[in-house]
Amino acid sequence: MRKRNILLILVFFIFLIMGIFVHGIYRDSVDWRDYGQRYLCDYDVKVTGLSGREVNGTTVIMVPIPASKEGKFFTPPVQKGIYFSQKLTHKVFDWSEEEDKGPYFENATEIFDNKELCSDWISFIAETNKGYMLGFRTNETKLEDIDCGVSLIADYFDIFNPINNESPILFPVENVSNASSVPYGKYTRYVSSPTYDTYVYISDNLKGRGTVSFEVQLDANNDPTEWSGEYFGWYDNILFAKVNETGYVRVKAILGQNIGGNDSTSSYSSQYYSDYFENETSDNVNETPSYTEVARSP
């Protein structure tokens, strides 16, 4: 009987240890899951027509930045403490000290402010009289095109009504078109792709030097581990414009949706998207006078 009890206790501890390791591995798979399995925002900026141009002084280009309609940057997930089971598994598998703390996601200031996101250009967050924008500056006398992209993680994005529910879109935001919605299961979705006005900026040392083309794209999805296929999806927010002026220039942005595999309102299938690529001479902008940059982070 005593041997049997010892054996049962031994089996219990074996299963306990195995359970701890299984739990630790499972929690790691959740904490360190792929970016596509989270609330994810992909933000890409391409500014062409600059390469090879010779200029004097500091060149500044500014584009809309991911923020809510009110200009509020979204908050990344807080770095949470790991479980005891994870600490044990990390010790056994010799995780690095940084990884042992759990994943850390940068906020907008850390990602954009005074970083070299693309060759020759330093990015900064600008505070203008139109609101926050993302700026690129260089003192090079021969310019290169801008081509960069980042992924931003959040605790939550509302893909059903991102304009009015504080999800990131291309900000500044002015004159939003009728963004009416229709029922969609327990939620609603847009009837068609809303449009609105936003701004780009080109410094005066590029005045009279031809067309500069802007392609700014933002795609944000909800977490497929939290939402069923019917409600999983994303919204796409794009700005395509060809600009021949300097200073602040008002341009049009469009927002589309793809929810549950239905992309009928995707901005990538819209006339807005087709017009930009089919009519290379078209300038889809409304020009406004130049303004002075209010401030930027040092």
Q: Could you tell me what percent of the chain has a pLDDT over 90?
A: 44
CB 135 within 8 A of CB 142: no
Q: At what angle do helices 84-93 and 2-31 cross, to 10 degrees?
A: 90
- pLDDT value of residue 285: 53
Domain ranges of the chain: 36-78+106-279
Residue 195: partners with Cβ closer than 8 Å, 6 or more residues away: 176, 177, 252, 253, 254, 255, 272
Q: Report the share of the chain in percent with pLDDT over 70.
A: 92
Question: Measured between alpha carbons, how far is 40 from 270 in angstroms, rounded to an integer?
Answer: 23
Residue 298 — pLDDT band, cuts 50, 70, 90?
very low
How much is the pLDDT for 44?
A: 96
- The Cα-based distances of 51 to 142, 146, 298 in angstroms read 7, 9, 27
| Average pLDDT of span 278-287 | 50
* Rounded Cα–Cα distance for residues 41 and 111 (Å): 13
Give me the pLDDT at residue 95, please.
Answer: 81
How confident is residue 282, by pLDDT bands cut at 50, 70 and 90?
A: very low
Dihedral angle, C-alpha 98, 104, 110, 116, nearest 10 °: 60
d(CA 110, CA 107): 5
**CB environment 20-49: b (16+ within 10 A), e (fewer):** bbebbeebbeebeeeeeebbbbbbebbbeb
Helix H or strand E segment including 154: strand 146-154
Q: How confident is the model at residue 279 (pLDDT cuts 50, 70, 90)?
A: low
Question: Phi and psi of 246, rounded to 5°?
Answer: -115, 175
Asked whether the predicted pLDDT for residue 260 surpasses 50, the reply is yes
- pLDDT per residue as tens digits for the range 19-61: 777 787 777 777 778 888 899 999 999 999 999 899 999 999 9
Q: What is the mean pLDDT of residues 205-227?
A: 91
Whether residue 297 has pLDDT greater than 70 = no
Neighbours of 173 (CB within 10 A): 20
| Amino acid in position 1 | M
The per-residue pLDDT for 99 is: 72
Say which residue, 176 or 117, is predicted with more confidence: 176
So what's the pLDDT on residue 245? 87
- What does the chain come to in residues? 298
Separation CA 88–CA 100 (nearest Å): 10
- Give yes or no for residue 185 having a pLDDT over 60: yes
The 3-state DSSP class for residue 265 equals coil
Assign 162 to helix, strand or coil: coil
Dist CA 144 CA 16 (whole Å) = 59
280: burial class by Cβ within 10 Å (0-12, 13-18, 19+)?
A: exposed
pLDDT, tens digit (0-9, with 9 covering 90-100), for 230-257: 999 999 999 999 998 888 999 999 999 9
**By C-alpha distance, which of 177, 197, 30 is closest to 103?**
30
Q: What tens digit of pLDDT does each residue of 124-172 get?
A: 999 888 899 999 999 999 999 999 999 999 989 999 999 999 999 999 9
What distances in angstroms separate CA 94 from CA 7, 89, 207, one per listed residue? 31, 8, 57
Read off φ and ψ for residue 105, nearest 5 degrees.
Answer: -115, 130
Indicate if the pLDDT at residue 291 is higher than 60: no
The per-residue pLDDT for 170 is 97
- The answer to whether residues 290 and 246 touch, using CB atoms and an 8 Å cutoff, is yes
Residue 264: both structure tokens together? 């009928």
What pLDDT does residue 200 have?
Answer: 94
CB 39 within 8 A of CB 151: no
